[in-house]
Amino acid sequence: MSTLEDILKQVQSGELDIEAAKNQLTEHWQSQTVAELGFAQIDTDRERRVGFPEVIFGEGKSAEQMIAIMKRMKEHSDRILATRVDQAKADAILAEIDGAAYHPTARAITWFRHPMLKVHDGYIAVVCAGTSDMPVAEEAALTAECMGSHVERVYDVGVAGIHRLFRRLPLIRGANAVVVAAGMEGALASVVGGLVSKPVIAVPTSIGYGASFQGVAALLAMLNACAPGISVVNIDNGFGAGYYAGLINQNMAKRL
Amino acid sequence: MSTLEDILKQVQSGELDIEAAKNQLTEHWQSQTVAELGFAQIDTDRERRVGFPEVIFGEGKSAEQMIAIMKRMKEHSDRILATRVDQAKADAILAEIDGAAYHPTARAITWFRHPMLKVHDGYIAVVCAGTSDMPVAEEAALTAECMGSHVERVYDVGVAGIHRLFRRLPLIRGANAVVVAAGMEGALASVVGGLVSKPVIAVPTSIGYGASFQGVAALLAMLNACAPGISVVNIDNGFGAGYYAGLINQNMAKRL
Amino acid sequence: MSTLEDILKQVQSGELDIEAAKNQLTEHWQSQTVAELGFAQIDTDRERRVGFPEVIFGEGKSAEQMIAIMKRMKEHSDRILATRVDQAKADAILAEIDGAAYHPTARAITWFRHPMLKVHDGYIAVVCAGTSDMPVAEEAALTAECMGSHVERVYDVGVAGIHRLFRRLPLIRGANAVVVAAGMEGALASVVGGLVSKPVIAVPTSIGYGASFQGVAALLAMLNACAPGISVVNIDNGFGAGYYAGLINQNMAKRL
Amino acid sequence: MSTLEDILKQVQSGELDIEAAKNQLTEHWQSQTVAELGFAQIDTDRERRVGFPEVIFGEGKSAEQMIAIMKRMKEHSDRILATRVDQAKADAILAEIDGAAYHPTARAITWFRHPMLKVHDGYIAVVCAGTSDMPVAEEAALTAECMGSHVERVYDVGVAGIHRLFRRLPLIRGANAVVVAAGMEGALASVVGGLVSKPVIAVPTSIGYGASFQGVAALLAMLNACAPGISVVNIDNGFGAGYYAGLINQNMAKRL
Amino acid sequence: MSTLEDILKQVQSGELDIEAAKNQLTEHWQSQTVAELGFAQIDTDRERRVGFPEVIFGEGKSAEQMIAIMKRMKEHSDRILATRVDQAKADAILAEIDGAAYHPTARAITWFRHPMLKVHDGYIAVVCAGTSDMPVAEEAALTAECMGSHVERVYDVGVAGIHRLFRRLPLIRGANAVVVAAGMEGALASVVGGLVSKPVIAVPTSIGYGASFQGVAALLAMLNACAPGISVVNIDNGFGAGYYAGLINQNMAKRL
Amino acid sequence: MSTLEDILKQVQSGELDIEAAKNQLTEHWQSQTVAELGFAQIDTDRERRVGFPEVIFGEGKSAEQMIAIMKRMKEHSDRILATRVDQAKADAILAEIDGAAYHPTARAITWFRHPMLKVHDGYIAVVCAGTSDMPVAEEAALTAECMGSHVERVYDVGVAGIHRLFRRLPLIRGANAVVVAAGMEGALASVVGGLVSKPVIAVPTSIGYGASFQGVAALLAMLNACAPGISVVNIDNGFGAGYYAGLINQNMAKRL
Amino acid sequence: MSTLEDILKQVQSGELDIEAAKNQLTEHWQSQTVAELGFAQIDTDRERRVGFPEVIFGEGKSAEQMIAIMKRMKEHSDRILATRVDQAKADAILAEIDGAAYHPTARAITWFRHPMLKVHDGYIAVVCAGTSDMPVAEEAALTAECMGSHVERVYDVGVAGIHRLFRRLPLIRGANAVVVAAGMEGALASVVGGLVSKPVIAVPTSIGYGASFQGVAALLAMLNACAPGISVVNIDNGFGAGYYAGLINQNMAKRL
Amino acid sequence: MSTLEDILKQVQSGELDIEAAKNQLTEHWQSQTVAELGFAQIDTDRERRVGFPEVIFGEGKSAEQMIAIMKRMKEHSDRILATRVDQAKADAILAEIDGAAYHPTARAITWFRHPMLKVHDGYIAVVCAGTSDMPVAEEAALTAECMGSHVERVYDVGVAGIHRLFRRLPLIRGANAVVVAAGMEGALASVVGGLVSKPVIAVPTSIGYGASFQGVAALLAMLNACAPGISVVNIDNGFGAGYYAGLINQNMAKRL
**G74-116: pLDDT as tens digits:** 988 889 999 999 999 999 999 999 999 999 999 999 999 887 6
Burial class (CB in 10 A: 0-12, 13-18, 19+), H92: middle
pLDDT digits (tens, 9 = 90+) for E224-241: 998 889 999 999 999 999
Amino acid of residue A165: L
DSSP three-state, residue E5: helix
User: B129 vs C1, which has greater pLDDT?
Assistant: B129
pLDDT at residue number H1: 41
pLDDT at residue number B1: 41
Amino acid of residue F135: P
Q: Which parts of chain F sit beneath pLDDT 70?
A: 1-5, 8, 22-34, 38, 50, 116-120, 254-256
Cβ contact C56:C66 at 8 Å: yes
Question: What sign has the CA pseudo-torsion G71, G77, G81, G82?
Answer: negative
Interface of A with B (CB under 8 A): 129-130, 158-162, 184-187, 190-191, 193-195, 208, 210-213, 216-218, 220-228
pLDDT for H210 beyond 80: yes
Amino acid of residue H187: A
Q: Which of A3-12, F128-137, F158-167, H179-188 shows the lowest per-residue confidence on average (mean pLDDT)?
A: A3-12
Q: Which of E24-28, F122-126, G125-129, G147-151 shows the lowest per-residue confidence on average (mean pLDDT)?
A: E24-28
The proportion of chain G whose per-residue pLDDT surpasses 70, expressed as a percent, equals 88
Judged by phi (left if over 0) then psi (alpha if -120 to 50, else beta), residue B215 lies in left
Residue of chain C with shortest Cα separation from E205: C210
pLDDT digits (tens, 9 = 90+) for D16-32: 777 777 666 666 655 56
User: D78 vs E235, which has greater pLDDT?
Assistant: E235
Confidence of residue E99 (pLDDT cuts 50, 70, 90): very high
Q: What residue spans of chain D are helical by DSSP H? A: 4-13, 18-33, 46-50, 63-74, 87-96, 134-146, 163-166, 169-173, 187-193, 216-223, 238-255
CB-CB neighbors (< 8 A) of B210 in chain H: 204, 206, 214-215, 219, 234-237
> Testing the interface with B: which of C147, C197, C237 to mutate, by most B Cβ within 10 A?
C197
pLDDT for H122 beyond 70: yes
Give me the DSSP letters along A182-222: E-TT-HHHHHHHTT-SS-EEEEE-----GGGGGGHHHHHHH
Residue among G129, G212, G227 whose CB faces E159 most closely: G227
User: Could A210 and C34 be called an inter-chain contact, meaning their C-beta atoms sit closer than 8 Å?
Assistant: no
> Testing the interface with H: which of F132, F188, F226, F231 to mutate, by most H Cβ within 10 A?
F226
Average pLDDT, stretch G22-34?
63
Give me the DSSP letters along B117-161: ---SSSEEEEEESSGGGHHHHHHHHHHHHHTT-EEEEE-S--GGG
CA distance A221 to chain H (A): 10
CB-CB neighbors (< 8 A) of B215 in chain D: 210-211
Q: Please give the helix or strand (H or E) that residue H231 lies within, else none.
A: strand H230-232
Q: Which of B195-199, H92-96, H250-254 shows the lowest per-residue confidence on average (mean pLDDT)?
A: H250-254
For residue H52, give every residue at least 6 positions away whose Cβ sits within 8 Å of its Cβ, in sequence order, or none: A228, H46, H147, H243, H246, H247
Q: Which of A60-64, B166-170, G250-254, H101-105 shows the lowest per-residue confidence on average (mean pLDDT)?
A: G250-254
pLDDT at residue number G256: 47
Q: Which of B211-215, D153-157, F162-166 shows the lowest per-residue confidence on average (mean pLDDT)?
A: F162-166
Residue among F160, F193, F216 whose CB faces H220 most closely: F216
β-bridge partners, F232: F202, G232
Exposed e or buried b for every residue in B201-219, given b needs 16+ CB within 10 A? bbbbbbbbbbbbbbbbbbb
pLDDT at residue number A31: 58
Whole-angstrom distance, CA of residue G249 vs CA of residue H238 = 42
CB-CB neighbors (< 8 A) of G214 in chain H: 210
CA distance D67 to chain E (A): 21
pLDDT at residue number C1: 41
Ranked by mean pLDDT, the top range of E78-87, F69-78, G9-18 is E78-87
CB-CB neighbors (< 8 A) of G234 in chain F: 223-224
Whole-angstrom distance, CA of residue D64 vs CA of residue D61 = 8
Confidence of residue B217 (pLDDT cuts 50, 70, 90): very high
Confidence of residue H233 (pLDDT cuts 50, 70, 90): very high
pLDDT for H79 beyond 80: yes
What does the radius of gyration of chain F's CA atoms come to, in whole angstroms? 22
Q: Which chains touch D (3 or more CB pairs under 8 A)?
A: B, C, E, F, G
Chain-wide mean pLDDT for chain G? 87
pLDDT for C253 beyond 70: yes
pLDDT at residue number E252: 83
Q: Which chains touch F (3 or more CB pairs under 8 A)?
A: A, D, E, G, H
> Testing the interface with E: which of D57, D231, D248 to mutate, by most E Cβ within 10 A?
D231
pLDDT at residue number F243: 96
Chain-wide mean pLDDT for chain D? 87
User: Could G226 and E190 be called an inter-chain contact, meaning their C-beta atoms sit closer than 8 Å?
Assistant: no
pLDDT for H141 beyond 90: yes
Confidence of residue C170 (pLDDT cuts 50, 70, 90): very high
pLDDT at residue number D1: 41
Confidence of residue C32 (pLDDT cuts 50, 70, 90): low
pLDDT for G217 beyond 80: yes
Residue of chain H with shortest Cα separation from B164: H34
Confidence of residue C125 (pLDDT cuts 50, 70, 90): very high
Whole-angstrom distance, CA of residue D81 vs CA of residue D58 = 10
CB-CB neighbors (< 8 A) of D222 in chain E: none
Q: Which chains touch G (3 or more CB pairs under 8 A)?
A: A, D, E, F, H
pLDDT at residue number D75: 86
User: Could D11 and F9 be called an inter-chain contact, meaning their C-beta atoms sit closer than 8 Å?
Assistant: no
CB-CB neighbors (< 8 A) of G60 in chain H: 132, 207
User: G203 vs F30, which has greater pLDDT?
Assistant: G203
User: Could B247 and C201 be called an inter-chain contact, meaning their C-beta atoms sit closer than 8 Å?
Assistant: no
Residue among F12, F17, F21 whose CB faces D14 most closely: F12
pLDDT for C173 beyond 60: yes
User: Could A231 and H231 be called an inter-chain contact, meaning their C-beta atoms sit closer than 8 Å?
Assistant: yes
| Chains F+D touching (3+ CB pairs under 8 Å) | yes
Average pLDDT, stretch C115-137?
86
User: Could F239 and G248 be called an inter-chain contact, meaning their C-beta atoms sit closer than 8 Å?
Assistant: no
Q: Which chains touch E (3 or more CB pairs under 8 A)?
A: B, C, D, F, G
CB-CB neighbors (< 8 A) of E223 in chain D: 219, 232-235
User: Could C235 and A207 be called an inter-chain contact, meaning their C-beta atoms sit closer than 8 Å?
Assistant: no
Residue of chain H with shortest Cα separation from A177: H248
CB-CB neighbors (< 8 A) of A192 in chain B: none
Q: Which chains touch A (3 or more CB pairs under 8 A)?
A: B, C, F, G, H
Interface of G with D (CB under 8 A): 131-132, 134, 155-157, 160-161, 163-164, 167, 207, 209-212
Average pLDDT, stretch B235-254?
92
State how beta strands C200-204 and C177-182 pair: parallel
In C38-171, which ranges are E strands? 41-43, 56-57, 79-83, 101-103, 108-112, 123-128, 150-154
This model's pTM is above 0.80: yes
Confidence of residue E223 (pLDDT cuts 50, 70, 90): very high
Residue spans of the domains in chain E: they are 4-34, 42-112, 123-255
pLDDT at residue number E18: 75
Ranked by mean pLDDT, the top range of B43-52, D120-129, F87-96 is F87-96
pLDDT at residue number F142: 96
pLDDT at residue number G11: 76
pLDDT for D245 beyond 50: yes
Angle at which helices C87-96 and C63-74 cross, to 10°: 40
Residue among H193, H223, H247 whose CB faces A199 most closely: H247
CA trace torsion B108, B109, B114, B120 (10° rounding): -10
Chain-wide mean pLDDT for chain H? 87
User: Could B167 and H34 be called an inter-chain contact, meaning their C-beta atoms sit closer than 8 Å?
Assistant: yes
Supply φ then ψ for residue G129, to 5 degrees: -80, -40
| A-B contacts (CB, under 8 Å) | 118
Q: Pick from H111, H118, H211, H128: which is nearest to H165 by CA? A: H128
> Testing the interface with E: which of F234, F236, F237, F239 to mutate, by most E Cβ within 10 A?
F234
Cα angle F90-F93-F95, degrees, rounded to a multiple of 5: 110
Report the CATH fold assignment for H123-255. Answer: Rossmann fold (3.40.50)
CA distance F240 to chain E (A): 13
pLDDT for H134 beyond 90: yes
Average pLDDT, stretch A176-198?
95
Whole-angstrom distance, CA of residue G253 vs CA of residue G117 = 14
Average pLDDT, stretch E103-123?
85
Cα atoms found within 13 Å of the Cα of residue G239, Cβ hemisphere only: 22
User: Could D255 and E256 be called an inter-chain contact, meaning their C-beta atoms sit closer than 8 Å?
Assistant: yes
pLDDT digits (tens, 9 = 90+) for E29-77: 555 666 777 677 777 777 777 678 889 999 888 899 999 999 998 988 8
Element counts in chain D: helices (H) and strands (E): 11, 11
pLDDT digits (tens, 9 = 90+) for C62-112: 899 999 999 998 988 889 999 999 999 999 999 999 999 999 999 999 999
pLDDT for H14 beyond 90: no
State how beta strands E34-36 and E41-43 pair: antiparallel
